[in-house]
């Protein structure tokens, strides 16, 4: 098959500039020092395949590499693959890997080069049914992945798609280091003790839950400047800010919105806008027959004074949203307005749904004569006052229209088990964050309802499924936009979620850390170039 070379000048230049400098950098910046960054919670797994949350995404950005990566301007640039070509029909991608990328020096892995076997093996592991990963849907587009020689491989897509290269930016794992090289499960020791090829390597997991990573001296772009990066988990967002202010952490990845002013006023820190494409939501479990009724879900949204909650608990630092995209997204439908607070309309809808009788306690009754009640499952381990207040306010709003809300607070990992695996909840509160693609397919496609898949609410609508598939497969970006904006309108009407708000998000970093550039979604993509001046180490 004839192939058209498309790896451009940028690719060539980057490949050349990065070659032969492993072990040191020639940028004149000093090595040394450590960066402690505070996260709200610790990831359950440390590998890039089974992890499904933002904490894990950020962490694996430090430990692993992809076939390709992204520049600060979000252009696709080479990473493990130094060049690639694409067939004229845009289906076959042939990648040539760098020959100088080594796996981290751990037992059984040290000094082994990243090969085509690893890349093909990683794709096979992701697609293996026994591997429970939210990535599966993204790689259904792959018809075949095969090794051509030690450093060359070919990935054939089922059909051409928009951003195919970006979608092939998955992190590569050494399949030889897995307990079973064919699949990855959460009981594989690898998920707690991963081996990567990235700028930092896992050194230690402390009893306090700190994830300690050390500079990879053999990193192919050259040893990163920082000696060590430590993820320090916190169970309380308020404490996270205090840790920054009192020097227990050098960085907080998402500053509690009410603390932004205080940190802005402190000359020791820089604030960087981060993670604009995220929003909070209340997810309604369709497996509950009452929540399966559209009128009930709509009534819940009409009954909830979201603006009041945003103003009262977040000082208005954010914006209400009307659908499944953040307002900073290209897919946000500006014609769709947020459902207004209207308890009277909520009551009408509940009546329409058949809830006409009220018990002595004031709550509506189901056909079985029981109060109409739901459990709101909240992922907070300790006292997070803000989320707790949101939950209490929600409980109170719903009481006004005759719905009883029971609150259940769960530790983050237990919450994820309940929500993603057991689907044991009525309503949940959480946040989604997206990259630039605004891909909501895993959240609402009916094929994504299994364990550790993102459609945990069990939403199923053939019309939406069809639109999701079409939006993903069209090569026409304006068509993609139109379909997404229609999805926005439809889902706003369907209310599988009560779409809440997008908050003002900033990362705060101590000024001693220099040359800081953040990826707007993955955060640590460029952390290998960060440094701390000798005097500040």
Partner 1 sequence: MKKRHLGFVLLALSPGAAQAAVKPGLEGAQELFRQSHWEEARGHLRSQWGAIPEKDRPAATFLIGRSYVREAEFYRALRRFGSEVGLAYLEELEAAKANRSVVWIPLFKGLYQIEVDRNVEAERLLLAAAQSPLPPEWKATARLRRALALQRLGRASEAAAALQDQSPEGRFCRLLSSGMAEPQSGPPREGRKDKLLLGAILYRAGRATEAEALLSGVNLDLPDVEENADPKKVLRFHDPLLGIAWERICWERAVVGLKPLAVGGAGIEKGLAAYYLGLSLFNLGALGEAATFLKEASGSSLSPELDAAARLLLAALAWNGRSPTAPELAPLWENTRAEPEAVLLWAELKHGDVSKVEPFVSKLEPRLRDLLAASPERPPGSLVGKWGLARLRQGDDPAALLAALSEHRDKSNKNKLEWNDPLLLVALAATSYRDHEYPQSLETLFELAKTFPGLRPLQWNLQGIYAARQRAGGEARISQ
Which residues ranging from 252 to 271 are in contact with partner 1 (CB under 8 A)?
Answer: 257-258, 260-261, 264, 271
The 8 Å CB, 24+ separation contacts for 238-247 are: 238/384, 238/385, 240/38, 240/40, 243/38, 244/38, 244/269, 244/508, 244/510
Give me the least distance between CB of 419 and partner 1, in Å please.
Answer: 9
Angle between helices 462-473 and 477-494 (to 10 degrees): 160
Considering only residues 275 to 294 of the shown chain, the ones binding partner 1 according to CB under 8 A are 276-278
Rounded to a whole number of angstroms, the minimum distance from the CB of residue 62 to partner 1 is: 16
Q: Looking at residues 57 to 86 of the shown chain, list those that interact with partner 1 (rule: CB under 8 A).
A: 57, 70, 73-76
Minimum distance from CB of 264 to partner 1 (Å)? 5
> How near is the Cβ of 399 to partner 1 at its closest, in Å?
25
Binding test (CB under 8 A) with partner 1, winner from 22, 240, 443, 487: 443
Q: Which of 92, 292, 365, 433 binds partner 1 (CB under 8 A)?
A: 433
Please tell me the distance from the alpha carbon of residue 171 to that of residue 60, in angstroms, as a whole number. 8
CB of 250 to partner 1, least distance (A): 19
Task: Scan residues 366-405 and list those touching partner 1 (CB under 8 A).
Answer: 379-380, 387
| Cβ contacts of 391 within 8 Å, gap of 6 or more | 376, 378, 407, 429
Name the CA dihedral angle for 212, 515, 523, 511, rounded to a multiple of 10 degrees: 70
**211: contact with partner 1 by CB under 8 A:** no
Residues 6+ apart with CB under 8 A from 1: 87, 92
What whole-number distance in Å separates Cα of residue 9 and Cα of residue 185? 40
Using CB under 8 A as the criterion, what x/- string covers residues 476-515 for binding partner 1? xxxxxxxx------------------x-x-x---------
Nearer to partner 1, 57 or 114 (CB): 57
Which residues neighbour 473 within 8 Å (Cβ) at sequence distance 6 or greater?
159, 161
CA distances from 216 to 219, 224, 496 (A): 5, 7, 44
Give the SS3 label for residue 153: strand
Q: Which is nearer to partner 1, 181 or 327 (CB)?
A: 327
Smallest distance from partner 1 to CB 240, Å: 12
Give the nearer residue to partner 1 in terms of CB position, either 214 or 381.
Answer: 381
Of the candidates 496, 506, 8, the residue with the CA atom closest to the CA atom of residue 262: 506
Applying CB under 8 A, the site for partner 1 has a residue count of 80
In the bound state with partner 1, the residue whose beta carbon lies nearer, of 218 and 437, is 437
Q: Which of residues 148-177 bind partner 1 (CB under 8 A)?
A: 163, 165-170
**H or E, element range at 300:** helix 294-303
Tell me if 315 contacts partner 1 by CB under 8 A: yes
**Per-residue DSSP letters for 354-375?**
T---B-TTS-BB-TTS-B-EEE
Distances, alpha carbon 274 to alpha carbons 62, 145, 440, 518, in Å: 17, 34, 20, 8
- If binding is defined by CB under 8 A, does position 439 make contact with partner 1? yes
Give start and end residues of each alpha helix (H) in 172-277. 237-245, 260-264
Our CB check for partner 1 shows the closer of 35 and 44 to be: 44
Cβ 489 to partner 1 shortest distance, Å = 12
Cα–Cα distance, 56 to 435 (Å, whole number): 15
Nearer to partner 1, 75 or 89 (CB): 75
Write out the binding residues for partner 1, residues 115-134 only, by CB under 8 A: 134
Q: How far is the CB of 31 from partner 1 (least distance, A)?
A: 25
CA 214 to CA 172: how far, in whole Å? 19
Near partner 1 in 445-464, by CB under 8 A: 454
Closest distance between partner 1 and the C-beta of residue 445, in Å?
12
């Amino acid at each position: 098959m004839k192939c058209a070379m498309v790896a451009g000048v940028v690719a060539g230049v980057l490949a050349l500039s990065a070659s032969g400098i492993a072990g040191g950098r020639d940028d004149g910046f000093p090595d040394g020092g450590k960066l402690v960054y505070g996260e709200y919670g610790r990831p359950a797994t440390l590998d890039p395949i089974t992890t499904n949350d933002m904490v894990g995404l950020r962490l694996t950005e430090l430990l692993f590499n992809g076939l390709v990566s992204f520049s600060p301007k979000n252009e696709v640039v080479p990473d493990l693959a130094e060049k690639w070509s694409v067939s004229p029909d845009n289906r076959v991608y042939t990648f040539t890997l760098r020959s100088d990328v080594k796996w981290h020096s751990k037992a059984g892995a040290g000094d082994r080069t990243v090969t085509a076997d690893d890349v093909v093996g990683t794709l096979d592991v992701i697609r293996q049914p026994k591997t429970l990963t939210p990535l599966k849907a993204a790689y259904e587009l792959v018809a075949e992945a095969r090794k051509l020689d030690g450093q060359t491989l070919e990935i054939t897509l089922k059909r051409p798609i928009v951003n195919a290269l970006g979608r092939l930016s998955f992190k590569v794992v050494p399949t030889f280091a897995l307990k079973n090289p064919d699949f990855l499960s959460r009981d594989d020791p690898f998920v707690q003790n991963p081996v990567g090829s990235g700028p930092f390597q896992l050194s230690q997991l402390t009893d306090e839950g700190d994830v300690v990573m050390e500079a990879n001296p053999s990193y192919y772009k050259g040893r990163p400047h920082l000696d060590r990066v430590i993820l320090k988990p916190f169970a309380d967002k308020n404490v996270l800010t205090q840790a920054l202010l009192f020097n227990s952490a050098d960085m907080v990845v998402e500053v509690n919105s009410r603390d932004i002013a205080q940190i802005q006023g402190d000359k020791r820190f820089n604030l960087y806008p981060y993670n604009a494409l995220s929003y909070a939501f209340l997810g309604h479990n369709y497996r509950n027959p009452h929540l399966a009724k559209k009128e009930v879900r709509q009534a819940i949204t009409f009954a909830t004074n979201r603006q009041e909650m945003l103003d009262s608990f977040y000082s208005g630092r954010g914006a209400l949203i009307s659908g499944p995209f953040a307002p900073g997204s290209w897919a946000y439908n500006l014609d769709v307005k947020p459902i207004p607070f209207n308890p009277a309309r909520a009551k009408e809808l509940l009546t329409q749904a058949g809830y006409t009788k009220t018990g002595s306690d004031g709550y509506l009754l189901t056909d079985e004569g029981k109060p109409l009640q739901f459990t709101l499952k909240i992922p907070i381990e300790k006292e997070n006052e803000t989320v707790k207040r949101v939950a209490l306010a929600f409980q109170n709003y719903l009481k006004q229209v005759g719905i009883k809300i029971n609150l259940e607070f769960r530790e983050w990992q237990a919450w994820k088990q309940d929500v993603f695996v057991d689907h044991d909840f009525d309503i949940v509160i959480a946040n989604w964050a997206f990259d630039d693609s605004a891909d909501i397919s895993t959240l609402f496609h009916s094929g994504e309802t299994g364990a550790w898949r993102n459609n945990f609410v069990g939403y199923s609508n053939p019309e939406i499924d069809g639109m999701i598939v079409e939006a993903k497969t069209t090569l026409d970006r304006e068509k993609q936009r139109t379909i997404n904006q229609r999805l926005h309108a439809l889902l706003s009407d369907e209310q599988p979620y009560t779409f809440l708000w997008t908050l003002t998000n900033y990362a705060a970093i101590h000024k001693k850390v220099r040359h800081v550039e953040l990826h707007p979604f993955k955060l640590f993509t460029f952390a290998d170039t960060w440094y701390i001046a000798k005097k500040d180490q």
